[in-house]
Structure 1
Amino acid sequence: MSTRSQQLAEAIIAADLQGLGEALTIKAKLCLLDFLGCAFEAWDLAPSKQAVASAVPARGGHVVGGVHEVTPADAAFANAVMGHGLVREDMHAASVCHHGVVVWPLLMALAEGTRVSGRRFLDAAVIAYEVGGRLGRMVISPGVSALYRPTGLVSPIGSAAGGAWMIGLGADQIASTVGVAANTSSGLNQWPGSGASDMFFHPGFAARNAWSAVRLAEAGAFASPDILEGPAGFFAAYARDAMPGPLVLFPEGDAEILSVYHKAAPACNFAQTACQTALRLIEMLGPDAAPVRGIKIALPEAAVRYPGCDSHGPFERSLQAKMSIPFGVAAVIVHRQLAEANYRDLGNVQVNSLARATELVTSPELTAAFPARQGATIELTLEDDRRLSIGQTDVTPATEAEVRQRFREAAAIVVGEAAAEAIESFVDGIEDMHDAGELPSLCSLPEGGGGAASRQRQSRSGRAFSRSAQQR
């Protein structure tokens, strides 16, 4: 009798991705562009610089916005950390995971060492999101995520499975890849209280461990076949329960990547809808309304229970504020906007006073609707004793136009407008590219900086732009 990981490997091999439609390709490319935009925008943040500083100089791996090549595993680590730096990466609510910040760095690193087509690169990403999403739906609960970081638990397995398939490993090797990756699942949720940097490094560990899992399986490593369902396996360890059944991929043509949404605000997933609802309320009130005295926010249970989301302060680091629903809503009300700047003004007396005057409650109706919908209801009490309430049934994601604009602005600052245009064009036509491994080098800076190296960079970018335009 085959094990769950063996069944999963066989299902991956048998998957008919082309029969699932063009929507998967379109979505995968937008997820890739969103990841790159986040990485470029977080390029000079402290965790990004620390990740790059820890990398070993070598040939074969390119870091987004980097100058020197590093080992492919270190490139996967650094790119994953950078992609997570804004807390604005793509989100799969049902698994409470940010799959993209692990999937794309791993696949980019693998593609630099093993020539793969752009079509296979995208299909591998769809598989990775699918495996990670389905596994996360089965294992992640409010109890699990109260202790463990969902992205750190699930994404090494999903991304490694997609990466193993991308480079052509067989079913037995994919099963071993899953087995090795499951042994690397990690990430504790102690960080929100202090706003520590642990969170930023979780996807980095996941991407680098997934790289090792793929390469070990490729080299012949044999991992526990029953690693998922065994008495001391993945589900026993984290869910404290038996695995409920096999991972069924693409049931009735449904794909998990289509459930991924792109964050509008650089903050925790669970703060998104509440902050958007607060913005609607404050716009309705107008500038002449009496000051807000108290806030009551109704949310799904998962949002109220996630570590850091119920924090009322004090806020010493921006990450604490980005995780806190009370802070996020209070900042929207005080600053009358939902923007990155809200999380830089941690000492604002009005914001902190309102955050302390905020009550979070669990809504049975919103809990029942989660994760298909992430709703929120906010009631404001004004100084003149008026009460105003408004609800929002689901989060409003960033649009494709917004994702593209964010990418263009962030990439242009780091690599220049010509290179940013070349990268976007490459991604838009990647399904027709013969070598997806060209993308990481397009996203890096030429060694030596300006002068001739800069001109060479512009020439290479122009060639890439012309080639992708012709192929489309």
Structure 2
Amino acid sequence: MTRDDTTAASRRLAEWAAAARFDEVPQHHDAILNAWVDSAAVAISGFDTDEFAPVRRFATDAGIDGPGRSQLWGDGSTTSAASAALLNGTACHVMDYDDVHTRIHGHPSTVLFPALLAVAQEVDAPPERFLSGYVAGLGVMTGVSVMFGPDHYTRGWHSTATCGAVGAAAGIAAMLEFDVDGLQQAMAAAASMVGGLRANFGTTMKPLHAGLAARAGVEAVLLVRAGATARAGALELPLGAVSVFGDGSWPGDLDDPAAAVIEAAERAPEQLGLKLYPSCLGTHYAIDAALEVRERLAGERVERITVRIPRGARTALLYDDPTSGLESKFSLPFAVAVALAHGLPGPDRFTDEGAADPRVRALMTRIVVEEDPSGGDAAASMGLRYAEIAANGAEGRTATARVAHPRGSAANPASAADVDAKFRECARRLPDGHARKLLRRLRVTRDLTTLRDLFPLV
């Protein structure tokens, strides 16, 4: 294999990203703008959480919360681009209420939008370039996930962070109109800054992965712009990102591996899904099934609940007996019990107080989870996931439900009205006039004259 062959995928990915334009993908505008509104919503709400407070204190105590033109979405104050990316990215992910992507096996917008807007506000980039940067960043993030392989996530890496930093760097570089060489170097630089372990799910580190990836994307681009160098093919070269982070499956027997990466990049917006519950996506299948069962039993006391899921579907659900709000977001028994006990689970259910709810805890003791070994590995392929629930009522009735496409997922998408309603819920802390004005501006971002001072000062 020649040197050119070895690095062909990252080169073609950089060429594709440099040419990506929001105006040229009108079929994806609704999905992208929904993701943008959704990201702003959950970040605004995330700023108010106890879980975000340590990260905000850290930024101040460590002296990285310096002067700049980039806004913090929760209060409209300004700071440096790197600090804004870190804090907004973390706030966006802290409630685990942000969007998901089935191919990436992670959360793209929580990294991309905070990183892009931080730099866009600093340099006053045109709104169209900001949105084009998102198209480029999402495509690169997806392409990198293909190169890392389906078992990258199951081996313990948090794809939001590992793929996200490279995608953020590519998106920012594309927004700033770097040439292909510069864009490829920015991607390579970001690849040296990635990390994020799934063992830390259910702690502050999990949302911080998103913030650190967003900041890494910003810093990689600023370093390259300042003259720092990185090996342009560091993704695929020996000792590079694919060999270190990848699962060994790529390029496999593909005739044209680079073409497969570009195809994934081009189709990336099709696989965006939004969350309608503030918990790990792995719980949403069972939540929707539990809501159906709850309706059918119509208030009858539930004696026994059996939850059946495919093999590997619990890979991110680390806590059968959660003791905190963060842990409860990654607990399948808790998610089922809270849906059965209270109906639609909002943010107030996944708190420290919610995790101790005696009604929910009592229901959890009646839940049995079974994994079906006959199908494929749902840890490696999100397309194989489902949840079946069978419940027995105290009066003898039974109810069953099966969900393969939870509400908000790419296959069962949320409407713009759903997203706007979620925004209003999350932005309740803002004065009403401020929230309405911000929502209108987010919806017409492409037509704004500037992105500076986008978020209200509160």
TM-score by length of 2: 0.87
1:408 is the counterpart of 2:424? yes
**1:358 — aligned with what?**
368
Deviation at 1:373? 6.3
Deviation at 1:322? 0.9
Identity in percent: 22
**1:251 — aligned with what?**
263
Q: Which moved more, 1:249-258 or 1:206-215?
A: 249-258
Match of 2:159 among 106, 128, 150: 150
Q: Which moved more, 1:87-96 or 1:144-153?
A: 144-153
| 8 Å CA contact retained: 2:16, 2:262 | no
| 8 Å CA contact retained: 2:10, 2:235 | yes
| 8 Å CA contact retained: 1:271, 1:328 | yes
Q: Which moved more, 1:268-277 or 1:60-69?
A: 60-69
Deviation at 1:7? 2.5
Give the 5 Å matches for 1:183-194: 183-192=192-201
Letter in 1 for 2:47: W
**2:67 — aligned with what?**
58
Q: Which moved more, 1:348-357 or 1:392-401?
A: 348-357
2:86, 2:29 → 1: CA distance? 25
1:431 is the counterpart of 2:435? no
Distance 1:9 1:259, change over 3 A: same
Deviation at 1:252? 9.4
Q: Which moved more, 1:396-405 or 1:265-274?
A: 396-405
Match of 1:30 among 29, 34, 58: 34
Letter in 2 for 1:72: A
Give the 5 Å matches for 1:39-438: 39-53=43-57, 54-55=59-60, 56-66=65-75, 68-142=77-151, 144-192=153-201, 195-241=202-248, 243-244=250-251, 245-246=257-258, 248=260, 251=263, 254-287=266-299, 289-299=300-310, 301-308=311-318, 311-313=319-321, 315-344=322-351, 345-356=354-365, 357-362=367-372, 364-365=374-375, 370-372=381-383, 374-383=385-394, 387-397=398-408, 398-414=414-430, 416-435=431-450, 437-438=451-452
1:352, 1:272 → 2: CA distance? 19
**1:450 — aligned with what?**
none
Letter in 2 for 1:362: D
Q: Which moved more, 1:323-332 or 1:385-394?
A: 385-394
3-state SS, counterpart of residue 267 of structure 1 = coil
**1:462 — aligned with what?**
none
Q: Which moved more, 1:391-400 or 1:11-20?
A: 11-20
Letter in 2 for 1:190: A
1:29, 1:364 → 2: CA distance? 39
Deviation at 1:104? 0.5
| 8 Å CA contact retained: 1:294, 1:382 | no
Q: Which moved more, 1:227-236 or 1:259-268?
A: 227-236
Letter in 2 for 1:305: T
| 8 Å CA contact retained: 1:116, 1:434 | no
* Residues 86-116 of structure 1: per-residue CA shift (max 9 Å, x gap): 1110110221111101101111111012232
3-state SS, counterpart of residue 83 of structure 2 = helix
Distance 1:330 1:366, change over 3 A: farther
Question: Which consecutive unaligned segments of at least 5 residues does structure 1 have?
Answer: 447-472
* Number of corresponding residues: 434
Letter in 2 for 1:391: R
Distance 1:138 1:249, change over 3 A: closer
Letter in 2 for 1:342: R
| 8 Å CA contact retained: 1:295, 1:358 | yes
1:434, 1:132 → 2: CA distance? 28
| 8 Å CA contact retained: 1:129, 1:257 | yes
Q: Which moved more, 1:35-44 or 1:53-62?
A: 53-62
3-state SS, counterpart of residue 295 of structure 1 = strand
* Residues 195-252 of structure 1: per-residue CA shift (max 9 Å, x gap): 3211121111001111011111212222122322222111211224263132646639
2:147, 2:163 → 1: CA distance? 10
| 8 Å CA contact retained: 2:96, 2:280 | yes
Letter in 2 for 1:273: Y
**2:455 — aligned with what?**
443
TM-score by length of 1: 0.85
3-state SS, counterpart of residue 116 of structure 1 = coil
1:146, 1:383 → 2: CA distance? 42
Letter in 1 for 2:226: A
* Residues 42-70 of structure 1: per-residue CA shift (max 9 Å, x gap): 12112333333314231322101336422
Give the 5 Å matches for 1:446-465: none
RMSD of Structure 2 on Structure 1 (CA):
2.5
Letter in 2 for 1:27: A
**1:12 — aligned with what?**
17
Distance 1:302 1:247, change over 3 A: farther
Deviation at 1:167? 0.6
Distance 1:32 1:252, change over 3 A: closer
Question: Which consecutive unaligned segments of at least 5 residues does structure 2 have?
Answer: 252-256, 409-413
Deviation at 1:443? 1.1
Deviation at 1:409? 3.8
2:332, 2:129 → 1: CA distance? 40
1:96, 1:341 → 2: CA distance? 26
Deviation at 1:405? 1.8
1:149, 1:201 → 2: CA distance? 11
Distance 1:27 1:157, change over 3 A: same
